[in-house]
Amino acid sequence: MRIAVLLGGISPERNISLLSGRSVVAALRERGHEVLPIDPARGAEGLMTEEELAAITPHLPSEQLLRSFSPWMYVECLSSDLFRTVDVVFPVLHGPYGEDGRIQALLELRGIPYVGSTLRASSLATDKHTAKLLFVAAGIPTPRWIATTTEHARHPDVLQDIISELGHHVVVKPNDQGSTVGTSVLQNATLEELQAAIEHAAQYSELVIVERYIAGRELTVGILGEEALPIVEIVPSSGIYDYEHKYTPGKTAYHCPAELPEDIADFTQTLALSAHRILGCRHFSRVDFRLDPDGQPFCLEVNPIPGMTPLSLLPRAARAAGIDFPELCERLVSMALADSGSSLRS
């Protein structure tokens, strides 16, 4: 089978996408497929060489590099002959223009089957504010939050209202980014600290989410098809589970399956499936939670294209369920083809 893996892209999560994509390329080649690693940020010249794949690092891309990219290259790439004989596309693009429905729209216009959620579900999941509104409507517990902008938050009365509503311990994050890019966790926040955190998050998204911090344990639930995988508990060596702790070896411990009472584990997995479904996600996702000291899970967000290196959270959970990484990637391709009415060909 001829499979195109989309990796890289133009968001701040570009290099993480490259790492994920490289892993998926290797896994699908191991299963005997012809795999094309394509970076849509490079337009019609997006096919990557083996040397370029080998040189990938997890460091944040420079602002200068990101500014050099144009969204138009996505259109050029998807319109090119690179996809003329492709059977299915496996997008491993994180953040804006890859995880928010825009690349999915181009794939649907071209009529190519693809792994992952549709443009509508991708857009809903990436929009944290809208997703949380849907969680509340569906009865899925989520931390209280306020959505704001830098212009709105420049008024001291607004900042005071946020602290009065949410307390002094809050998480401030961009509305549509992942990998904790632009995220701040504030303890005993002053008005000045809150404003600075909002302005920092606003560098990555026009809308900013200020969310009540939930003390407790960090959990995540991978979804594969219609099944909730074993829960992963995330224990950073210090502070919060930020970009450094996610992508620096030895900075974080992972426990899978998480040591939880059976009723709490079952309830958390049920909530994860509910969040996945209320957004209309398909094939796979990863649902993040905080578990408070009373055993109440709070859903933070749904990641429609989770990290896909063999050591990422969803593959780690799949491995605990007896599914190795190449098989995981193969299953996802099979799901995409089944949804398109095709059949898997070796």
Q: Match 């290797």 to its residue by tokens.
A: 26
Please pick, among 13, 127, 242, 330, the residue that the annotation labels catalytic. 13
pLDDT digits (tens, 9 = 90+) for 50-103: 999 988 877 778 888 888 999 999 999 999 999 999 999 999 999 889 999 999
CATH topology of domain 126-141+216-304: D-amino Acid Aminotransferase; Chain A, domain 1 (3.30.470)
Domain boundary assignment for the chain: 2-116, 126-141+216-304, 145-212
What is the predicted pLDDT for the residue at 182? 85
- Can 226 be counted among the known catalytic residues? no
- Can 247 be counted among the known catalytic residues? yes
Residue count of the chain = 346
What is the predicted pLDDT for the residue at 345? 38
What is the predicted pLDDT for the residue at 248? 55
Please pick, among 247, 285, 316, 319, the residue that the annotation labels catalytic. 247
Cα–Cα–Cα angle for 306, 229, 119, rounded to 5 degrees: 40
Q: With 0-12 CB in 10 A as exposed, 13-18 as middle and 19+ as buried, what is 54?
A: exposed
Q: Does domain 2-116 have CATH number 3.40.50.20?
A: yes
Asked whether residue 343 carries a pLDDT value surpassing 80, the answer given is no
Please pick, among 15, 23, 123, 303, the residue that the annotation labels catalytic. 303
pLDDT digits (tens, 9 = 90+) for 206-235: 999 999 999 999 999 999 999 999 999 999
Please pick, among 286, 290, 319, 331, the residue that the annotation labels catalytic. 286
Asked whether residue 245 carries a pLDDT value surpassing 60, the answer given is no
- Can 13 be counted among the known catalytic residues? yes
Q: Does domain 145-212 have CATH number 3.30.1490.20?
A: yes
d(CA 254, CA 247): 13
- Can 241 be counted among the known catalytic residues? no
CATH fold match for the domains 2-116 and 145-212: no
At 36, which amino acid appears?
L
344: left (phi over 0), alpha (psi -120 to 50) or beta: beta
Using only C-alpha atoms, the chain has a radius of gyration, in whole angstroms, of 20
The tokens of 156 are what? Answer: 């001291």
- Can 286 be counted among the known catalytic residues? yes
- Can 327 be counted among the known catalytic residues? no
345 and 338 Cβ atoms separated by less than 8 Å: no
Please pick, among 11, 123, 179, 312, the residue that the annotation labels catalytic. 179
Q: With 0-12 CB in 10 A as exposed, 13-18 as middle and 19+ as buried, what is 263?
A: exposed
Asked whether residue 268 carries a pLDDT value surpassing 50, the answer given is yes
Please pick, among 87, 288, 290, 312, the residue that the annotation labels catalytic. 288
228 and 269 Cβ atoms separated by less than 8 Å: yes
**N-term to C-term CA, the chain:** 6
Mean pLDDT of all residues belonging to the chain: 92
Largest Cα span, the chain: 62
Please pick, among 87, 99, 301, 330, the residue that the annotation labels catalytic. 301
The tokens of 186 are what? Answer: 């504030």
pLDDT digits (tens, 9 = 90+) for 179-212: 577 899 999 989 999 999 999 999 888 999 999 9
Residue 120's alpha-carbon distances to 102, 144, 174, 186, in angstroms, are 9, 25, 20, 33
Asked whether residue 167 carries a pLDDT value surpassing 70, the answer given is yes
Task: Look at 121-135, 137-151, 170-184, 219-233 and tell me which has the smallest mean pLDDT.
Answer: 170-184
Please pick, among 11, 307, 319, 330, the residue that the annotation labels catalytic. 307
pLDDT category at 344 given cuts 50, 70, 90 is very low
- Can 74 be counted among the known catalytic residues? no
